[in-house]
Each structure stands twice: as C-alpha cells, then as structure tokens.
Amino acid sequence: MAIDKAIVIQPEDATLYNQKGILLQNLKRYLQAEAAYDKAIQLSPRASFYNNRGLLYAKQQKWELALADYNQALQLNPNDAQAYNNRGLLYAKQQKWELALADYNQALKLNP
C-alpha cells in the first residue's frame, strides 16, 4: 500500500495510521484495520480516531467496544455530531429507542 511508504517517512503521524485503518476497513481486513486505529490512538488520542474504530467494532457487531469508543470520542469532543449519530445507530440496533432518539436529536442540534 502506498500509505505504508508514507508511514515509513512519517512514522509518528497519527493521521496516516487512521487513514490506513479506513482503507483496511474498506477492504474488510478488520484485524489490520484495528491495529492501525490502535496505533493512531496511541500516537494521538483524537475523537475522530475513536469514532472510526467504533465504526469498525460496530461493523463486526462488537457492540460494547463500539459503545466505549463512541463514548470516548464524545468525552474528547462533546460537539462531535458524527459520534452522536453513530452511537444513536448503535442504540437503535440494540432497540434502546430513547437513548437512540436522544443521540439523534443531539447530532441534529450540533449539525442541522
């Protein structure tokens, strides 16, 4: 992958590992994607990185891990509409309707 060459040049750039995680997730290489997200978070614990790893966990139906990552994303950035939306989707899949609705409303409030 071309991104691996960029990582060799800039091994401390967390955004490169996050991008690698996205690419690997799209290729359904979930274990490798998780490792890339883990490295991104280790280098720079950003809300967007936790949100992306949460999406990966949700795709694999690892609900508790996904919820933990969405919660961490929101702790780091309480104005992250995408994390509220994703957590709302997770709650809806678990049929926790009131929690889902509250998160959807918050997402819309932050990003109409």
pLDDT in tens, 52-81: 999 999 999 999 999 999 999 999 999 999
pTM of the model: 0.93
User: Quick one: tokens of 32?
Assistant: 């490798």
Name the residue among 76, 19, 74 with its Cα closest to residue 46.
76
CA 83, chain centre distance (Å): 8
The total number of residues shown for the chain amounts to 112
CA dihedral 30, 32, 38, 44 (to 10 degrees): -110
69 plus 102 within the same structural domain: yes
Q: Does some domain include residue 53? A: no
Q: What range defines the domain where residue 11 resides? A: 1-44
Q: Does some domain include residue 29? A: yes
What does the pLDDT read at residue 34?
99
Q: Which residues of the chain have pLDDT under 50?
A: none
Q: Give me the residue label for tokens 């709302």.
A: 88
Count: domains in the chain: 2
